[in-house]
Amino acid sequence: MNYTKEQILARCNEFSKNTLMETLKIEYIDAGEDFLTAKMPVNPSVHQPMGLLHGGASVALAESVGSAASFFFINPKEQEVRGIEISANHLKSIREGYVFGTARIIHKGRSLHLWEIKITDEEGNLVSLCKLTNMVLERKKRE
């Protein structure tokens, strides 16, 4: 990556405006050479009917952080990223507080990026383990 931590976090939080990430109150909070971390509050707006964090909200956090992380490995003037597959294993329930999604690169190819995203609670307990595959596409020329 050719960006500072501050540039990465500012860019991610900026392009989240008026999106699902803003609706879920996802905030990017840490970044490094091979990872990106975001947090999301756990409250009734992301609960399933039993009052627990909805698995779909966890997957939305995972895909958001993994896709954003791929963006920093491409040339955004010539390429774009599309998530093509995501899987999740939900291991622990949570009712309130925050969850943190940390994406770490497993494979960085020219056309595919594979990410492992660990979602943890405030104590560092693993809530969900996700895997995301992103495809890197050439940006179509607009006439």
Q: Which of 22, 27, 33, 63 is catalytic?
A: 63
Phi, psi dihedrals of residue 67, rounded to the nearest 5°: -70, -40
**Structure tokens that stand for 81 in this block:** 């990223």
63 flagged as catalytic? yes
Backbone angles phi, psi at 104, to 5 degrees: -125, 135
Helix (H, G, I), strand (E, B) or coil at 68: helix
Q: What percent of the chain is modeled with pLDDT above 90?
A: 90
Asked if 73 and 113 touch (Cβ cutoff 8 Å), the reply is yes
Q: What is the pLDDT of residues 31-71, one digit of tens each?
A: 998 899 999 999 999 999 999 999 999 999 999 999 999 99
Contact 68, 7 (CB under 8 A): no
The SS3 call for residue 133 is strand
Structure tokens at 56: 């779909």
Each of the 143 residues of the chain gets a pLDDT tens digit; together they read 578 999 999 999 999 999 999 999 999 999 998 899 999 999 999 999 999 999 999 999 999 999 999 998 999 899 999 999 999 999 999 999 999 999 999 999 999 999 999 999 999 999 999 999 999 999 987 65
